[in-house]
Structure 1
């Protein structure tokens, strides 16, 4: 039985503006020196894993505005099946994002995935990829917990 989702539970920006402001600052810092297309792919993929409808909606729209193709957006959850659609750097970032996002059951970021990312990103870039994955995971948890929902479009 699927639970019924109610309206948004609370507005974090209203009740804890200092936390919301800190998240905005973290998001801004994570985006520095990171390719905007890569940042959106990271945000979409983590949001898919976390079942965050609000963030999936927001970041797929943002990716489209940046010129991302429908095919790459639609196939992002199956990127390993179509590696030719994504660059080596994107694949490394997506693998790292997935392992950072799914940490249950004793899982961890493997040496193989970390080494793959470290091989294609400069140290600063790798730090930014990690920060972006960390940030979107935090946003996802806020949005899912407070039941932030995207607008229904016709």
Structure 2
């Protein structure tokens, strides 16, 4: 993997404000009524996989501000081995990884069924929506080379 310059390529929010506003509305709709702790864990984990520095930074800070511990944020990259995430959180993170990576072009039945065992149908629909929404945000951030905002 090669290092990239940290100079942003473009400001999508300025150049395509309708798309940006639609993404914000999609993000809000996907999150509606869903467990905010799990939502931030999902956002961080997908962003780690996609190497989106902007989203990792933003959602790690959001998670901490909402009361998430530093230990759990730091261990998220090794969630399956960490021993600090609930079965429900692990099911959400496994689904996040499967949907984000789409290994061999599909989400394995056992991963989907694990998540379905821990979430109601409505919650599962929101979880899947959160996952594809953060993946879209990651692709915007990585493609336009948006880095963490400091200050």
Structure-2-length-normalised TM-score: 0.95
Could you say which residue in structure 2 is the equivalent of 1:129?
A: 127
Displacement of 1:107 in angstroms is 3.7
Which runs of 5 or more structure 2 residues have no equivalent in the other structure? none
Could you say which residue in structure 2 is the equivalent of 1:70?
A: 70
Q: Does 1:9 align with 2:9?
A: yes
Q: Does 1:95 align with 2:94?
A: yes
Distance of 2:2 and 2:123 partners within structure 1: 41
Distance 1:141 1:114, change over 3 A: same
Displacement of 1:152 in angstroms is 4.5
Displacement of 1:26 in angstroms is 0.4
Q: Runs of at least 4 residues of structure 1 off by over 2 A?
A: 1-4
Q: How does 1:20-31 map to 2 (within 5 A)?
A: 20-31=20-31
Could you say which residue in structure 2 is the equivalent of 1:111?
A: 109
Distance of 2:50 and 2:111 partners within structure 1: 20
Which runs of 5 or more structure 1 residues have no equivalent in the other structure? none
Could you say which residue in structure 2 is the equivalent of 1:39?
A: 39
Distance of 2:86 and 2:120 partners within structure 1: 16
Structure-1-length-normalised TM-score: 0.93
CA RMSD of aligned residues (A): 1.3
